[in-house]
Amino acid sequence: MANTTKITHNSLQVSGLDADWTIPGDLPGFSTSGIRVKSIKFHPGAADDEIVIKAGKGSQKTAAEVIATTATAPEIMRSKSVSDADQRVEYFNQGDNIWPFIDISDCTLSTAGAATIEFQLA
């Protein structure tokens, strides 16, 4: 199963988290502007799932460029679940434009296909 990205008028949902996810690689239409985010919600697939979402830069034009910065990129969300029903939310002031990415090697997901990230857009 590969990551699936679904966009509605006010949210962006990434599910099937079994590979890296980046704006240039998965949403190339937003590479220049990033996405304006009000909140990020983590829906874990199992207990003890941990998600790490980092901030990329608008100057990074390919998924490989983004993932190459994983050691130095600032974390914008790190969350570990207690159970599969333990949803976690991180809020952002006034909706910030960001270029979020997920380096799957930073995450611990027992059932990756069951985990979901939801970006609430401003």
- Is the pTM higher than 0.75? The answer reads yes
Average pLDDT of the residues of the chain: 91
Question: Mind listing the pLDDT tens digit for each residue in 84-105?
Answer: 888 899 998 876 789 999 999 9
DSSP bridge pairs for 39: 91, 120
Distance CA(29)–CA(93), nearest Å, equals 24
Q: Name the token pair of 97.
A: 């434009």
1 — pLDDT class (breaks 50, 70, 90): low
DSSP 111: T
Q: Cα(97)–Cα(35) distance, rounded to whole angstroms?
A: 5
> Which structural domain, as residue segments, surrounds residue 95?
4-121
pLDDT at 107 over 70: yes
CATH number at residue 87: 2.60.120
The total number of structural domains in the chain stands at 1
